[in-house]
Chains A and B, each alone.
Chain A
Amino acid sequence: MSVLLQVEHVTKRFGGLVAVNDVSFELYEGEILGLIGPNGAGKTTLFNCIDGVYTPEEGRILFRKQDITGWKPYDVARFGMARTHQIVRPLADLTVREHVMVGAAFGAQSMGLRQAARVADEVLEFLGLAERADWLAGSLNVAQKKRLELARALASQPQLLLLDEVLAGLNPAEIAEMVATVKAIRNRGITIIMIEHVMHAIMNVSDRILVLDFGQLIAEGTPKEIAANPKVIEAYLGDPKLAERLMQGGE
């Protein structure tokens, strides 16, 4: 398996606060990598460093063997990386299809509107939103908005997909559906990093997991290894039963 993304000694500071501290890891093609950690651990900031929203103070990021440190988000997007946002802010006055067309038209495969509409319709069908294509995005419910966010990212036909809490706010049935969808996306050959708080889901879906705490990478390994890692348990409020709960499911 070849390396798709290399994060090398990345550090991001805000004033005196070190949000991401000397983080390094590698991501292999076709992998699903889970990124977990307590609130404020720097997970979303790390995403923002990877996709160009922030430029890290130190370290570098290689994507498809290319140093993309300091690239603008749109350049990174056009180079084949897409992401979803934790807080979904759908563009209120656009229809669901128009939304997804933005992702398709301006993403990795820059394409005309007609083709973008075609791709959008396919992606909407794949994600079960086809009947909603002509709705205004603002009128969707939470689960649908999450799917829309995913559709937008997927329509850009990325090689790497960054998912920021796509399960948050979903009920158990919706979570199960979304987990299946994430796996199906990977089966289409798209590599995934996902930030998640829903532990049983991330344990179930990830090939490998990284744990961030106070901006630092404190553990890396298979879900099983992570669940048994004392550092991780300590980071999560020193809950001794954590490992059991992680493996059994539930928050």
Chain B
Amino acid sequence: MSRQKPSLPPALRPADFRPALPGRHWANWALPLALVLALGLFPLLTGKDVHRETMFTLLRAVVMAVSLNIILGYTGYVSFGHVVFFGLGGYVGFYLVAVQGRTLWEALLAGGLAAGLLAWLIGIGILRLRGAYFALVTIGVNEAVKAFIQNFDPFGGPLGLTMNFSVYQAYGGPRTMLQMTYYILVVLAALAVLLSYAVRTSKFGLGLLAIREDEDAAEVMGVVTPMAKTWAFVLSAILPGVVGALFFFRNGSIEPHEAFPLHLSIEAIVMVMLGGQGTVWGPVLGAAGYQAMRAFLLTNRYLKNIQLTVSGALLLLIVLFIPAGLIGWLRRRFPASRRVLL
């Protein structure tokens, strides 16, 4: 009965005994953060506006993918409605600036709050559904909100709202505004990465992983699943809401089809899958890789017209042959990397 040797009571452990915590390693947040900052500051080096605008699209994708990963990758709930938070945040923020004459800062705050609030309200209800039913209902929520806003007069109904360009004077004129909003996005993308790392390596995150792997077992182990899932949903919603407010402020106009395109949700899923769901690195690399590939295809003379087909074929190959994504594949292929590759 060698297995029966009594264990050391906690007091007999050396006081400075600090067991390794899963995923806690500086490399797991510092390196993805460095990548995001490098991408974000690259236009500063070239000084070209076109690079800045390309990077704006890329960093927006990073925020969408990284935030989606909290509910999709960590918690295991496939949401096809992630864009609803972007759109709602966009509308609320835009309305405050364009109609109510509030500042951009208030708009960003309100956009994030509105998205978080929506996630909280619907999360309690829809997170009871599992698997494909949840995926379906998120499509329904996105379409219902979009259809509602098309009929909602304060938000301009089907035509949406436009901004008087004089608003930008308060932010140093359109040119400076474009610069400033870009750097706000860089900060938001950096925040997204840090949030993602913090959630993944926290006790809350461990509960989410348990839910992802087996929700019934997680309940029996004491994870308060309805709370955990709802908070994960809220956390994943806030940053897209802020970015929505930022994006449409910059854009100068907003309309329902621009605010709630289903394909933006699906692209975010594709990015998360590409890089590796449930990891910190994955969505960052997935978003960057996907956008880079898109940019390449769109500028290639021969592939431009069938860009979507090539992307689709690539997606299919990944789903069929490396469903864990790049990071997931690396972690499985080289188990020694697990500690520093999250």
Which chain A residues have a beta carbon within 8 Å of chain B's beta carbons?
Answer: 51, 53, 72-74, 77-78, 82-83, 85, 89, 91-95, 97-98, 101-103, 105-108, 110, 112-114, 116-123, 125-128, 136, 152, 156, 177, 180-181, 184
Task: For the complex, give the distance between the alpha carbons of A95 and B203 in Å.
Answer: 15
> Which of B17, B21, B222 contacts A106, CB < 8 Å?
B222
Q: Is the CB of B21 within 8 A of A93?
A: no
Q: Is the CB of A180 within 8 A of B19?
A: no
Task: For the complex, give the distance between the alpha carbons of A222 and B34 in Å.
Answer: 66
> Which of A93, A102, A128, A152 contacts B207, CB < 8 Å?
A102
From known contacts A73-B219, A91-B210, A102-B223, infer whether A177 and B19 are also in contact, taking CB-CB under 8 Å. Answer: no
Q: Which chain B positions have C-beta within 8 A of A101?
A: 22, 206
> Which of B17, B20, B206, B222 contacts A77, CB < 8 Å?
B222
Task: For the complex, give the distance between the alpha carbons of A125 and B4 in Å.
Answer: 9
Chain B 1-39, CB-CB to A under 8 Å as 1, else 0, gives 111111110100100011111100000000000000000
Question: Is residue B216 within 8 Å, beta carbon to beta carbon, of the partner chain?
Answer: yes
Q: Which chain B positions have C-beta within 8 A of A118?
A: 10, 13, 17, 19
Q: Which chain A positions have C-beta within 8 A of B3?
A: 127-128, 177, 180-181
Q: Is the CB of A105 within 8 A of B219?
A: no
Looking across the interface, which residue of chain B has its beta carbon closest to that of A117? B19
Task: For the complex, give the distance between the alpha carbons of A85 and B220 in Å.
Answer: 10
Instruction: Tally the A-B contacts, defined by beta carbons under 8 Å.
Output: 117
From known contacts A95-B22, A126-B7, A177-B1, infer whether A74 and B214 are also in contact, taking CB-CB under 8 Å. Answer: no
Q: Is the CB of B278 within 8 A of A93?
A: yes
Chain A contact residues: helix, strand, loop or mixed: helix
Q: A106-B210, A117-B19, A181-B3 are in contact. List 12 more A-B contacts (CB 8 A).
A: A53-B216, A94-B210, A102-B218, A103-B221, A114-B18, A118-B10, A118-B19, A122-B7, A122-B10, A152-B221, A177-B3, A181-B4
Looking across the interface, which residue of chain A has its beta carbon closest to that of B1? A180
Shortest CB–CB separation between residue A193 and chain B, in angstroms? 15
Question: Is residue B225 within 8 Å, beta carbon to beta carbon, of the partner chain?
Answer: yes
The 3 closest A-B CB pairs, nearest first, are: A91-B213, A77-B222, A106-B222
Q: Is the CB of A74 within 8 A of B206?
A: no
Q: Is the CB of A106 within 8 A of B19?
A: no
Q: Is the CB of B222 within 8 A of A113?
A: no
Task: For the complex, give the distance between the alpha carbons of A105 and B22 in Å.
Answer: 13
Chain B 231-258, CB-CB to A under 8 Å as 1, else 0, gives 0000000000000000000000000000
Looking across the interface, which residue of chain A has its beta carbon closest to that of B227? A74
From known contacts A77-B222, A83-B220, A128-B3, infer whether A102 and B206 are also in contact, taking CB-CB under 8 Å. Answer: yes
Q: Is the CB of A105 within 8 A of B206?
A: yes
Which chain B residues have a beta carbon within 8 Å of chain A's beta carbons?
Answer: 1-8, 10, 13, 17-22, 202-203, 206-207, 209-210, 212-214, 216-225, 278, 335
Q: Is the CB of B4 within 8 A of A184?
A: yes
| Residue in B4, B21, B221 whose Cβ sees the most chain A Cβ within 10 Å | B221
Looking across the interface, which residue of chain A has its beta carbon closest to that of B220? A73
Shortest CB–CB separation between residue A205 and chain B, in angstroms? 14
Task: For the complex, give the distance between the alpha carbons of A94 and B21 in Å.
Answer: 12
Q: Which chain A positions have C-beta within 8 A of B6?
A: 126
Looking across the interface, which residue of chain A has its beta carbon closest to that of B8? A122
Q: Which chain A positions have C-beta within 8 A of B217?
A: 85, 89, 91
Looking across the interface, which residue of chain B has its beta carbon closest to that of A130? B7
Q: Is the CB of A106 within 8 A of B221?
A: yes
Q: Which chain A positions have C-beta within 8 A of B212?
A: 91
From known contacts A53-B216, A118-B19, A156-B222, infer whether A125 and B7 are also in contact, taking CB-CB under 8 Å. Answer: yes
Task: For the complex, give the distance between the alpha carbons of A248 and B219 in Å.
Answer: 39
From known contacts A92-B213, A94-B213, A118-B19, infer whether A72 and B4 are also in contact, taking CB-CB under 8 Å. Answer: no
Q: Which chain B positions have C-beta within 8 A of A122?
A: 7-8, 10
Q: Is the CB of A114 within 8 A of B19?
A: yes
Q: Which chain A positions have C-beta within 8 A of B22?
A: 94-95, 97-98, 101
